[in-house]
Amino acid sequence: MFEQYLKRWRLTVDGEAFVSLNGNLLPVRQGDTPAMLKIAQSAEERAGNQLMAWWAGEGAAPVLAHDDEALLMVRAQGSASLAQKVAGGRDDEATRILCAVVARLHAPRPASPPVLVPLAQWFEALWGAAAAHGGVLEYSARAARALLAAPRDMVVLHGDMHHGNVLDFGACGWLAIDPKGLCGERGFDYANILCNPDDASALAPGSFARRIAIISDAADLDRHRLLQWVLAWAGLSATWMIEDGLEPGSRLEVARLAAAALDSGVHAASDCRNPGL
């Protein structure tokens, strides 16, 4: 799998290959430069590779070479992580770093972007789940439909912005990896921050309100609309977890927090047709 790229791009192996949700990866070096060779295993990840190249190192890891299937990017060498910052009581700092990276990714570029997936296409799974399960998912679907019907500030989206997808590149700062290649309203890219880096921190007392305040200020986003995006995204994320046979409890709780903050009348999903939702 990797051999043709090792030869073509004159790479030397610099670690053990591994598999992630985003493809097959191999630490390598190109000359003196530590790099990561990634082979995409889905159309979504191939689109993400093209987007990484389009960003050209501005907000995202610099790309050294790429083709339709493979991506060679500079490897993060910094020792810090945003998840560690959160665990160490520096959640506010981590949130501001994520907002700064998102802003860089959303900045206008002179070149046309690669082919992108409309955000509305991603939300299609939510409609059926809301009809089947009711409860807070209905509120998520309602929020998503309203947002998608009247979008604002359309940009190229990362699509999976969270603490594990922004890495420490030392002198180059914090940079993103593993985009999904979407286009849509910029507020969407901030919603997933509220669900991460783990359930405990996302649902810690006071964390939700504090993060909403920080993101609204740092990203210059309307608080009400940001809460709508969080409600919509958390419902979609819960839907995917249900489809995969996973327990969606934390995502549903984030959705409830957003719904309560919007004063929508959702309280502990007491009106759910399915008690689990």
DSSP β-bridge partners for residue 81? 167
Instruction: Measure the CA–CA gap between 41 and 45, rounded to whole angstroms.
Output: 7
**Cross-strand partners of 73:** 36, 63
Annotation marks residue 178 as catalytic? no
From the list 91, 160, 178, 189, the catalytic residue is 160
In angstroms, the CA 51 to CA 45 distance is 10
Pairing state between β 33-39 and 70-74: antiparallel
Residue 49 and residue 136: Cα distance in Å, rounded? 34
Distance from CA of residue 98 to its chain's centroid?
A: 10
Cβ 248 vs Cβ 241: under 8 Å: yes
Distances in Å between the alpha carbon of 97 and those of 102, 159, 239? 9, 17, 28
- Which active-site residues does the annotation give? 160
